[in-house]
Amino acid sequence: MKASTIVSKYLAIVFIVLASFTEVGVGVFLGKIFDGISFKQEQIFVASILISIALIIMNFFCSIFSRMNLYLYSGKKCMELKDHIYQKELLKGREESYDIANFTTKIETIYTDYYLSKWMILENCV
């Protein structure tokens, strides 16, 4: 594996974890917003709103970066698989026909059923 593939993989994991932490933080500070309202403490209310907005913005960018790295990693892995299948088909004899479906539908099935579903499970479990 190339270094950029490994970096994309681990960056996706880091950004998924950061997005999860920011979601938890938003929930905690949402509770503090309601506490500030119910106890009529304006400083806690305003500070909690500002922190919540910052966490929402951070969550937005972490989610985008995690998906970007996820698609980069999955795309690179599928390209390697596609190249491997292509080279395997080229090594066949001339009398055998090439199966074009290997290059499109089977790769797409592997991409959606294996790579993306594996990452979506990780993203939803964290």
Per-position pLDDT tens, the chain of length 126: 578 888 998 999 999 999 999 999 999 999 999 999 999 999 999 999 999 999 999 999 999 999 999 888 888 888 888 788 778 777 776 666 666 666 677 777 777 777 778 877 777 787
The span from the CA of 65 to the CA of 91, in Å, is 39
The span from the CA of 20 to the CA of 1, in Å, is 28
Domain ranges of the chain: 3-125
Please tell me what DSSP assigns to residue 98.
P
**Is 16 within 8 Å of 66 (Cβ atoms)?**
yes
In this predicted structure, what is the pLDDT of residue 98?
Answer: 64
In this predicted structure, what is the pLDDT of residue 99?
Answer: 65
The span from the CA of 19 to the CA of 63, in Å, is 6
